[in-house]
Amino acid sequence: MSRWVLVAGASRGIGRAAAQLLLEEGRSVVASARGEAALREAFANVGEDQVKIVPFDFSRVEDLEGYAAEVTGLTGGLSGMLYSAGIQKTLPLTQSKFALAEEIFRVNAFAAFELTRLFAKKGAYAPNGTSFVLISSLAAHEGALGTALYGASKGALEGFIPAAASELAAKKIRLNSLILGTVKTDMSMRFIGKMSEGQKKSLLAEYPLGLGEPEDAAHFIAYLLSEKARWITGQTFTLDGGHSVRVVYTAKEGG
């Protein structure tokens, strides 16, 4: 039985935390991200029989077929895939030109679609049960200023899940996605770092259980990638520290 899981975006944040947890659970990991140095640093203490380092820039969607062939050659077929690679660029809609939209969609959506397609081919996945997990965001559901393109790319990813999961079920491939609230990753902390103190205070107030740690997402990802979740497919789950069910107080008129 294949124990290999591809983690796209493994050099930092949620991808790195998930990869490390999978290794602790006895899985083997193909670790991919754009920067080879960061990948090798992240997994410096792990043997090559447990981790295969395969650097790749996921904006190169046209080259994914060759990348998938390389991964299949190294593993003999995947038992799981986590797509956590992504980019976020915050700009007003009027300044968001088509080239930027294409850049964001290539990484956040098109690469995820293509990897799902390629690793669903015969010989590229474990026929006795495989699980794919794609990472979405609350940005697809909320009106944060400057995130129209980012939110749209994540919305496209969520829209992909139901029909694709229906097709893949015949192959015993499960496909699910996670909507994540604000998790303390390099990307989100750079965004938060640009906020005023008042904006930071407001953000923290929106999360009853506090901002998430990468490990909070990693544990649920590891569950979905395991046989314990063998009856779950086509679903999109929300992990947001209580953000979506928080009590919103409004001032009474004249109060």
Residue 51 C-alpha from the chain's centroid: 19
Q: Does residue 251 lie within any of the structural domains?
A: no
Query: How far apart are alpha carbons 126 and 129 in whole angstroms?
Result: 6
E strands present in the chain: 4-8, 28-32, 51-53, 80-83, 130-137, 173-180, 236-239
Q: Does residue 253 lie within any of the structural domains?
A: no
Report residue 93: phi and psi, to 5°.
-55, -40
Q: Does residue 247 lie within any of the structural domains?
A: no
Q: Does residue 50 lie within any of the structural domains?
A: yes
Domain interval for residue 217: 4-242
Low-confidence ranges of the chain (pLDDT < 50): 253-255
What's residue 193's pLDDT?
A: 82
Instruction: Calculate the alpha carbon distances from 36 to 32, 39, 188 in Å.
Output: 8, 5, 22
Q: Does residue 207 lie within any of the structural domains?
A: yes
Q: What is the DSSP letter of 243?
A: G
As for how many domains the chain has, the answer is: 1
Q: Does residue 32 lie within any of the structural domains?
A: yes
What's residue 191's pLDDT?
A: 76
What's residue 253's pLDDT?
A: 47
What's residue 187's pLDDT?
A: 77
Query: How far apart are alpha carbons 128 and 205 in whole angstroms?
Result: 45
**Contact in structure between 5 and 82 (CB atoms under 8 Å):** yes
Query: How far apart are alpha carbons 3 and 29 in whole angstroms?
Result: 8
CATH of the domain at 72: 3.40.50.720
Q: Does residue 254 lie within any of the structural domains?
A: no
Q: Does residue 249 lie within any of the structural domains?
A: no
Report residue 62: phi and psi, to 5°.
-65, -15
What's residue 2's pLDDT?
A: 67
Query: How far apart are alpha carbons 254 and 230 in whole angstroms?
Result: 55
What's residue 254's pLDDT?
A: 45
Tell me the per-residue pLDDT of 118-134, one tens digit each, with 9 for 90 and over: 999 999 999 999 999 99
Query: How far apart are alpha carbons 214 and 241 in whole angstroms?
Result: 12
